[in-house]
Each structure stands twice: as C-alpha cells, then as structure tokens.
C-alpha cells in the first residue's frame, strides 16, 4: 500500500504527510489506513450510486451479506456490517479524543447514517433529515420508496429547514413508512405507488386499519388521529404522482392517480374517517373531571387555620 502511494500519489498532500512519518510508526500506519479507507469509500459511493459493482468492506463478513447490511464508520470511513460496526467504533483509532463513547448499536448506526453516500434519488438536505431517524425496518422503507421521498421533499421545500419542520417531516415519514411496512405483512402492496392504484383501495383500507390499531369488535381505533393523517398523506401522494405523470406524459399514472382520488373521496369517510373522528370526540367526552380528595381539602383548611392563627398572634 505504501509503495503504491509513493509511486502513484506522492504529490498529494495527505499522502506526502503520511509518508513523511517514521516507517513502522503507529501514526504512519494509522494515516495510511485512513487513506486506503477513503479510497474504498469513494469506490463504495460510486457502487451505491450506480447500483453496479461490489462493495469493498474493511473485513469480509463470515456470512453472505447484502449492501443494506453495511455502514461506513463515521471516523475512519471503513465499511463494516451493522452488527459489528458499534464494536469497531468503540476502539476506532481515528475517533477524536473529545468524543465520548456512547454504547449501543442503534446510537452508533444513527450517528453513522449521515456519513453514508447520499443515494441518487434523495436530496442532500432530505438525507440529513432521514439520517437522524431511528435505524430500523421502517426507516429502510422510507429511504427506498421514491413516492415517500417525493412527498417529504415537497414538505421540506414548503416548510424550510427549521428544526421544528425537520422533526415534523421525520414524524410523517415514519407514519407512512409504518403504513407500508404493515401493508407488506397483511396485503400484497409493496410500495406507495401500489397504494395509488384504484383496484387496490380495499387493501389500502386494511393496511390503514392495522397501522392504526382498529378493533372491529368495538369499532374503535387505538390511534384515530393517525388514521386522519394517513388519509391526508395518501391524497398528497396521489397529487404528486398525478403531476409526475403529466410531466412525463405517463397516461397510466395520471389515470391511476385521478381515479384513486375519486374512489378516496367517496369511500374514505365511510370506511375510516367517520369512525376515527367519532373515536376522537368520544375520548374528549369521557375525560373524567378530577375532584379533590377529602383529605386534601382537610389539609388545606388546616393549613389556612394555622396561618390565620399565626397572623393574629403577630398582630397582637
């Protein structure tokens, strides 16, 4: 590695700096390893962007793994499987001394997500929002569904990059990601574009009910407010797809989106929103009025009597 860099890249500043260090020293090895990792990172980024080629991990895993199973270290940029990344980062040689070690796989993966190459279908600002999401199957759904990305980019463009709006976008992305995740379990729907096909509308209703915890026996949603939010998101997604179809002269996409909106306007209230709104109103009616305990009232009167006696004594 050192000989190759000396022959082919000796005129680059970081290479010259590494080669100037004493041979066999730990610092020289560390800097040369970092240069190698950066080169592999550039290769891996090109593979992810093009969807062609093979990723170059720091160490080959013992079992077969797919691209989504790997992440780059936030410090040294080497590629590891998610399962071992957190162990590596606890002892990474390039970890800044000022950074405290935070245990736990999920914290490490959240921190490293932002360091991953930005996928070609996601804008850099939106990628920053997605990177702060909890790494789990729902976030994987969000990152890989083009319609969700379009809807959230629209919301980000509309609301700006204020912290409050970024958090709002993350929450909405997780809501719709959870819907698709559940749909894959209980229906044949796989992507948000499948939801906008009119003949799939009853499957959409089923997925919404599962996501919002609908109980057919009591005719109640566990999370009725989420049902209304998902209804609005579905309409927004259909409008964006219709606009995309018009721009691309895709007659089938325009037809599906238009007919979905028509079906949605006629059936959503009957099948979802009327029940959800009733559940919300019933919850407001059933909130108990909190009455003070007798003991609390007695304590208050005792305290007031004591204060009264003290004040009278001071005046006397």
Please give, one letter per residue, the 3-state secondary structure of the chain: CHHHHHHHCCCCHHHHHHHCCCCCCHHHHHHHHHHHHHHHHHHHHHHHHHCCCCCCCCCCCCCCCCHHHEEECCCCCCEEEHHHHHHHHHCCCCCCCCCCCCCCHHHHHHHHHCCCCCCCCCCHHHHHHHHCCCCCHHHHHHHHCHHHHHHHHHHHHHHCCCHHHHHHHHHHHHHHHHHHHHHHHHCCCCCHHHHCCHHHHHHHHHHHHHHCCEECCCCEECCHHHHHHHHHHHHHHHHHHHHHHHHHCCHHHHHHHHHHHHHHHHHHHHHHHHHHHHHHHHHHHCCCCCCCCHHHHHHHHHHHHHHHHHHHHHHC
pLDDT digits (tens, 9 = 90+) for 45-94: 888 777 788 888 888 887 777 777 788 888 888 888 888 888 888 888 88
Say if CB 152 and CB 165 are below 8 A apart: no
> What pTM was estimated for this model as a whole?
0.64
- Higher model confidence: residue 228 or residue 11? 228
**Cα 83 → chain centroid:** 19
More confident residue, 62 or 197: 197
pLDDT at residue 107, as a whole number: 61
Is 147:175 a contact under the CB 8 Å cutoff?
no
Query: 10 Å Cβ neighbour count for 268?
Result: 21
300 pLDDT above the threshold of 60: yes
- Check whether 44 has a pLDDT greater than 60: yes
- pLDDT tens digit string along 248-292? 999 999 999 999 999 999 999 999 999 999 999 988 876 565 666
Nearest CA to 239 out of 162, 181, 155, 166 is that of: 155
| Dist. CA 290–CA 298, nearest whole Å | 17
What's the pLDDT score for residue 66? Answer: 78
Please state, in angstroms and as integers, the Cα–Cα distance from residue 283 to each residue in 90, 117, 277, 288, following that order.
48, 46, 10, 10
Please name the residue that has the structure tokens 């996601």: 122
pLDDT value for 224: 94
How far apart CA 77 and CA 37 sit, in angstroms, is: 6
Q: Are 56 and 43 in contact (CB under 8 A)?
A: yes
């Amino acid at each position: 590695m050192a000989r190759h860099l000396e022959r082919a890249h000796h005129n680059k500043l970081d290479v010259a700096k590494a080669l100037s260090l004493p041979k066999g020293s730990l610092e020289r090895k560390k800097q040369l390893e970092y240069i190698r990792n950066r080169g592999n990172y550039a290769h891996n980024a090109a593979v992810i962007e093009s969807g062609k080629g093979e990723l170059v991990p720091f160490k080959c895993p013992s079992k077969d793994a797919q691209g989504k199973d790997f992440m780059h270290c936030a410090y040294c940029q080497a590629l590891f499987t998610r399962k071992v990344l957190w162990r590596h980062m606890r002892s990474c040689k390039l970890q800044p001394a000022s950074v405290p070690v935070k245990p736990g796989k999920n914290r490490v993966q959240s921190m490293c997500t932002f360091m991953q190459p930005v996928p070609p279908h996601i804008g850099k600002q939106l990628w920053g929002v997605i990177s702060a999401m909890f790494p789990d199957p729902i976030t994987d759904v969000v990152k890989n569904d083009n319609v969700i990305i379009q809807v959230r980019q629209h919301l980000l463009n509309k609301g700006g990059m204020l912290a409050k709006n970024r958090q709002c976008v993350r929450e909405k992305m997780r809501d719709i990601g959870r819907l698709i995740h559940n749909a894959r379990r209980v229906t044949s729907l796989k992507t948000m574009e499948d939801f906008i096909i009119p003949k799939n509308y009853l499957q959409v209703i089923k997925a919404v009910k599962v996501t919002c915890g609908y109980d057919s026996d009591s005719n109640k949603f566990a999370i009725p407010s989420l049902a209304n939010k998902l209804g609005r998101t579905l309409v927004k997604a259909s409008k964006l797809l219709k606009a995309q179809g018009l721009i691309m002269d895709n007659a089938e996409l325009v037809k599906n989106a238009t007919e979905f909106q028509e079906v949605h306007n006629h059936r959503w209230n009957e099948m979802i929103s009327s029940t959800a709104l009733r559940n919300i109103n019933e919850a407001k009616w059933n909130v108990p009025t909190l009455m003070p305990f007798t003991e609390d009232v007695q304590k208050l009167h005792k305290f007031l009597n004591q204060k009264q006696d003290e004040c009278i004594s001071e005046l006397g």
